[in-house]
Structure 1
Amino acid sequence: MADRADECGVIPMSNIVDGPEVECLPIPGDPDRVQILTSRDVPLGGPRAMVVHRTLPQRARSLIGAWCFADHYGPADVSETGGMDVPPHPHTGLQTVSWLFEGEIEHRDSLGEHATVRPGEVNLMTAGHGICHSEVSTPDTTVLHGVQLWVAMPDESRDSERKFEHFVPEPLWVGGARISVFVGELLGSTSPVSTFTPLVGAQIDLDAGASLTIPVQLDFEHGVLVDQGTVTLEGSEIARTEMGYVGVGHSQITVQSSDDTSSRLILLGGTPFGEELVMWWNFVGRSHDEIVEYRQQWQDHSERFGEVSGYTGAVDRLPAPTLPNARIRPRSNPGT
């Protein structure tokens, strides 16, 4: 049996158990204090694997709003890690949000989109009913540094058509803070990319010692992921690679950088996502049987996912891993 951390949905990202006596109990949130979510280091790739810091999903909290997955990586020296080279792979029932601090990634998908992810530019891909794509760091990239985020799509929208969007937000300056809103709306800055539930996503850079009080929606819960420096969120210190969670019922939240260094953080928020999810590999569904069906369709080269053109890696597509020898349980979220 895997240890409880693996069981409770880090890799694969679902509650997989060997018997009914084993249950993954969430740690309840408290809207009057900050909950600290510690990341887990996950190697991606072979012997020279690039390590990513995964904060969502985890035992303590599966989602923040509809944000259901957060990987934070770098700065990674491509000469040591080999960079990123992810062959075509499938998705269902989610949106991918790619946001970089350094480096470039070439994106190809089964819509026929061929785009470059660059720092300060958001690429949002809606999988809906099904899509596949590849991700490869460009030859000119020497350092790779950014976040890969997923958004769960609600039941009424999760079978929608696949879609790809690109947007370059105009940075907003407030005192000693620089803010780039890549999803939703914040401080009067709005991103036009599609969402299916109310969401916000933004990069915030703080000068050393700078403090920023952000008006937020009362019905949103929020997470602050620290990429650089040390940040206090509502008076609680959040270290690099950690995420601080604040529940609903707040009209504003305050973040502050330490006095001796500047800081960079990613703010994620949204209305609590009330639906249970089954997450496994690259699929988001609602039942074990759906996941089994998605996996088989990918293995059978189903039109559900289409094909990626132009990818020239060692293999033409990623095979799906073997399903666990147990039914995959739905993942629910603790209180907000």
Structure 2
Amino acid sequence: MDHTEVEAEAHVEVLTSRDVPLGGPRAMTVRRTLPQRSRTLIGAWCFADHYGPDRVADSGGMDVAPHPHTGLQTVSWLFSGEIEHRDSLGTQAFVRPGELNLMTGGHGISHTEVSTPGTTVLHGVQLWVALPDEHRNAPRDFQHHAPEQLRVDGARLRVFLGTLVGDTSPVRTFTPLLGAEVLIDAGATVTLGVDPGFEHGLLVDEGDVRLDGTPLRPAELGYAAPGRATLTLTNVSEHPARTVLLGGPP
């Protein structure tokens, strides 16, 4: 490997978010880091929306009217609160903290998302996965998974898609993917073994974090190009940091 390749590997691109009204100008606001002009995809991940913590009494919560999706999967992951999901398959399910809900739009599906009456603070991420051309018209589907929390030195993880630290999610995807919540202890550093064929994105929810030495603030996403066998996450805050790690082949 020459010097140029080493520098390319070490570089972390910082993507900042923009505020977007979800469902219309009077709806709740999300912070969107993906897509943007400089980067439209990380693996097959094509949307990354991050919201809260929002007091529902002030914001009105989430109330997304019926709307269609085709050719993609939606991934819902909450940190606090609860959302009721209904779709045209007849599915009624609840999105709760630490539990994955994945809906495959395939050749066409419609759904609604509404925060439940008992929710006081709504906080989480909404992610989309683009289906490859050969699976764009796949059968519609809905999957739910509640991954166990794993403890590694300096961090706690929940792997909701793909494989990390020896834990593999049973949820089916159409391309190799990684999705995990990583909670880093105050002042701790954790080094994670990852697939060097993947590109990765680290979305920071809470705390000030360094990804391979590059500082990331809340609502920023750090992009790491393929070629890394490890990612080093450092929490420079005096309180735990919450991040979401995404990955997949370019």
Same fold per TM (> 0.5)?
Answer: yes
* Residue in 2 that maps onto 1:203: 181
Please list every run of at least 4 consecutive aligned residues from structure 1 whose deviation after the TM superposition is greater than 4 angstroms.
45-48
Task: Find the partner of 2:152 among 164, 174, 182.
Answer: 174
Change beyond 3 A, Cα 1:77–1:128: same
**SS state at 1:31 partner:** helix
Bigger Rg over Cα = 1
Deviation at 1:242, TM superposition (A): 0.1
Q: Please list the CA deviations of residues 92-123 of structure 1 after superposition, one character each: whole Å capped at 9, or x if unmatched.
A: 00000000000000000011110000000000
Name the CA distance, whole Å, in 2 between partners of 1:226 and 1:247: 18
Distance 1:259 1:154 in 2: 39
Kindly indicate whether the alpha-carbon contact (under 8 Å) linking 2:208 and 2:237 is maintained by their aligned counterparts in 1.
no
Identity of aligned residues (%): 64
Q: TM-score, normalised by structure 1?
A: 0.71
User: Residues 44 and 181 (structure 1 numbering): CA distance in 2 closer, same or farther, change over 3 Å?
Assistant: same
Superposed displacement of residue 176, structure 1: 2.1
Give yes or no for contact 2:34–2:47 (8 Å, CA) kept in 1: yes
- CA drift of 1:234 comes to 0.3
Letter in 2 for 1:188: G
Using the size of structure 2 for normalisation, the TM-score is: 0.95
| Residues 72-95 of structure 1: per-residue CA shift (max 9 Å, x gap) | 000001011111111110000000
Contact residue 209 and residue 237 of structure 2 kept, 8 A: no
- Displacement of 1:46: 5.8
Cα distance, 1:49 vs. partner? 3.4
Q: Whole-Å Cα distance in 2 between the matches of residues 99 and 64 of structure 1?
A: 18
Decide whether the 8 Å contact of 1:101 with 1:146 is kept in 2. yes
Partner in structure 1 of residue 92 of structure 2: 114
Structure that is richer in strand per residue: 2
Counterpart position of 1:54: 32
Alignment correspondent of 2:216: 238
Number of the residue aligned with 1:96: 74
Task: Indicate conservation of the 8 Å contact 1:48/1:81, yes or no.
Answer: no
CA shift in 2, pair 1:116/1:61, >3 Å: same
Rounded to whole Å, the distance in 1 between the matches of 2:27 and 2:72 is 26
Amino acid at match of 1:134: T
Of 114, 125, 142, the match for 2:103: 125
Deviation sequence 1:187-243 (CA, Å, 0-9, x none): 111111111111000000011011110001110000000000010000000000000
1:145 matches 2:99: no
The answer to whether 1:269 aligns with 2:242 is no
Offset, 1:47: 6.6
SS in 2 for 1:156: helix
Q: 1: CA distance between counterparts of 2:197 and 2:24?
A: 42
Residues 46/269 of structure 1: CA separation in 2 closer, same or farther (3 Å cut): closer
**What SS is found at the alignment partner of 1:197?**
coil
Q: SS state of the match for residue 205, structure 2?
A: strand
In the alignment, structure 1 segments of 5+ residues that lack a partner are 1-28, 273-336
